Chains A and B, each alone.
Chain A
Amino acid sequence: MRLGDRLYYQMRRFRKHLAILGAVIGPGVIVMVADNDAGGFTTYMLSGAYYRYSFIWIVLLLGPVAYVCQEMTVRLGVMTKRGHAQAIFEAFGPFWGWFSLSDLTLTDCLTITTEFIGMTMAMEVFGIPPLFTEVVVISFIMLMLVNGRYWTWEKIVLAICAVNMIVVPVVFFIHPDVNDIFKTGVVPGFPEGLGGPVLFLIMATIGTTIAPWMIFFQQSSVVDKGLKKRDVPYARMDTAFGSAFTVVTAIALIIVATVFFGGDANLQSAGEAAKLLMPLHPYVGIILAIGLFDAGLIGALSVSLASSWAVGEVFGWSHSLNDRLGQAKWFNLFRLSIMVIAGTIVLIPGAPLGTITLFVQVIAVTLLPAALVFLIVLLNQEELVGAYKNTRAQNIMAGTVVGIILTLSTAYGVGTIFPKLFGG
């Protein structure tokens, strides 16, 4: 075959692969970008403000770790056509099923509360009252389902995901010290050792990168989208792209926080950072507020779906995004309820919002090890996943990741309960 012909066929093949990737892309990018939710924004801003660029290498490491965990949900979802909650019920029985479902629902409801805290704080920068923000957000999330098509929902969410990266261009205008970034950020090391708040912030970073709801969300999403075996390589790419986007945005947030607040250990949240920047650097403040609102919105959208899908699967309700609002009334009512409960908690005067934010992590810690262990056990069942069973290398990799996460997240949970244990 002539070189020209060969190039022509290669080009056609490439375009075909690109078209399939375009169709498959969605669950992986959404779940990974939703990882940079309002809580994630605050965690990265605080790590930059407290310890400058020192956390960049941790974020770089966590990207592939999140990929390893999420890729397994793709294979399990495609092969079993079951969400993670239903798969747990079927494989391990009612005890573990109810434990996972109730823990997930409680964690999700509290996580959505933190998303609303972030969104209302971001909109307060523009003088918009919290109640108005919440009503508009909940109405928007529910109206996205009126059309009753998964594809429409996914495209809207992907557009919202693109806004999550709004902070990235800011890095090019604020002239950070690139040498310093490579010297103190990319080379592994712990600022001031591992004592005090450093360990706490490392664990918070891990907690925000790998969360239980992500496992449930992506597996249900893959099932609802109807991905098939042949789509698995593209779904893997989708997850890898999402992981890369998350890492880039997280690093951008750390850089922005370092440039404007580096060494300031008094910063409390991303919302406060946006407010503080408004008088001095209004454009950066506005961008940060928009980014924080967007992060909270993607978080609320995805987290509320994770538990609604899980409860819908187990109770046998219609739970597809392809169903119209009225067709899947219990599924939508459940989703609306957890958002209204979360929104109401934020509006209660004097509500212990700080305690809630910490409590989320503790409850999540109880679910994360179980969810990850179940994932590995299920992916070793040949009768369930056939040729997509974990290989020995995948088991070693996933087992190592689970071991590290288990140790650190347990330490985080224990550290939250007993703050003095790690010198905090």
Chain B
Amino acid sequence: MHPLDWTVLLLTLFGIVAYGVWKTRNVNNVQSYLLGDRDLPWWTIGLSVMATQASAITFLSTPGQAYNDGMRFLQFYFGLPIAMVILCVFALPLYYRLNVYTAYEFLERRFDLRTRSLTAILFLVQRGLAAGLTIYAPSIVLSTILGWSLNVTIMIMGMMVIFYTVLGGTKAVSVTQLHQMVVILTGLVLAIIVIIFSIPTEIGFNGALDIAGQLGKLKVVDTNFDWENRYNIWSGIFAGTFLFLSYFGADQSQVQRYLSGKSLTESRLGLLFNGIFKVPMQFMVLMTGILVFIFYQFNQPPIHFNEANLKELKESAYAKDYEALQNQYDSIFVMKQVAVREMLKADRSGDTTSLTTSREEVKRLQASAIGLQSEVDGLIQKVDKDAVLEDNDYVFLSFIIRYMPIGLIGLLLAVIFSAAWSSTSSELSALATTTVVDIYRRSLVTSKEDHHYLNASRWFTVAWGAIALIFAYTANLFDNLIQAVNIIGSLFYGTILGIFCVAFFLKKIGGRAVFYAALLAEAVVLGLFYLSQNEILHISFLWYNLIGCFLVMGIAWVIEIGFGEEEVV
């Protein structure tokens, strides 16, 4: 990497961390450490909420997903603004009125201690796993593309974020996230501008959209309902709303962000800000992937984006087979480029016959190229049967390193680090807060002074950071890790949301009914997952959120009607 890129990268990252540490140097009590003095304005809350959700893998994977699968992933976020409004109406006023530190604290007021503890533990398990992944996933991509050691990359990713989160608590998280989000948005806009100017001038931005549209990459909204289809407007709006209600209303890493607001009004405005800007922001991230796709219609793309896999293949006994496939791939690229220009010419002239012919030719060549890529994948697997063949996550970063101007490479790497740190810091802070408030201070060590709990909060942040690092270091021992952790999230979120929905909307249902309903519902969701895994039943994991939630509400209602509430002693 060029020295200028190093300078931009290091100055940006260390500048933000130093500012965060300096701004939070006076944090000296639990209230300040866990709730950040409740003095944040709405724009900081809004950006902080967005930064928490947008992890590094968002900026690595999402453009790659658009590159391969088009824009339909955007529908995943269609339920988010609806969830923001519902939370502003029902959840925020309650949290503020009860003056809680965590979302689970509210459950004890509404039900009982065991329901609070169960929900807190479900959160700790699920978020504890995710924290390791938010460090590991970008580290593996960065280390592969940049040739850095994976262990060193994980160390850099993990240690800096643990350092400033331990020192400043949730306040450090919010202060740094504000600047990290500015870096992320600036980097993204600059990247889009540079890619647009990299597309041949005779094609232009409109031509790029026409080509992407002709090749089926701009199908954002799919109105066909299908239980198995993860991304359509119905799963986005209905299942997505439940997922985001659970994530923003019952996941402490988000609840802690808006509970740091200086008033209920500021917190509400922060969430509505997220509701308004999240979909356009994701559109922008996906469009980056589409523009990279167009760029590669006129510039030779690699046959496989993970350079490390290719390097291993080139040095293996299958090098000659690889070369033969690469030569065929090169020839197809030349033919495809001609066909794409023909297609655009026909589109512009309105010649539908020629347009259909050329489009079919482009699609045929595209299918041939994909076939060759699969053959290369097969060779890679012959060399290393454990090699990860999925290369979506490498598309954007590989493009940055190859084609972005000096200086911007450093800034875009800072974007990836910023995104990783912003989500990891929220997770660590939330894990420590839940451990201290819902378990340690509530059930284990109940009557110590404020200073004791401040120190405990710091040590629990260190402990969760260490667990995340250990998980990140051993993550390569597990197969399909990313998918596994994403599914684990959906397995628990529905039940957690169901508990909160009962608390908010079914006022007559008590603690015993909701506790057993949660256990039963979780068992059913796990059973459905087992049936899906064994291909007996096909339900996309996004729907588990909705099913789990309704099961908890339904079963709790039946238990309450059938058995009544236990006597309060």
- Do A and B associate with each other? no
B interface, CB within 8 angstroms of A: none
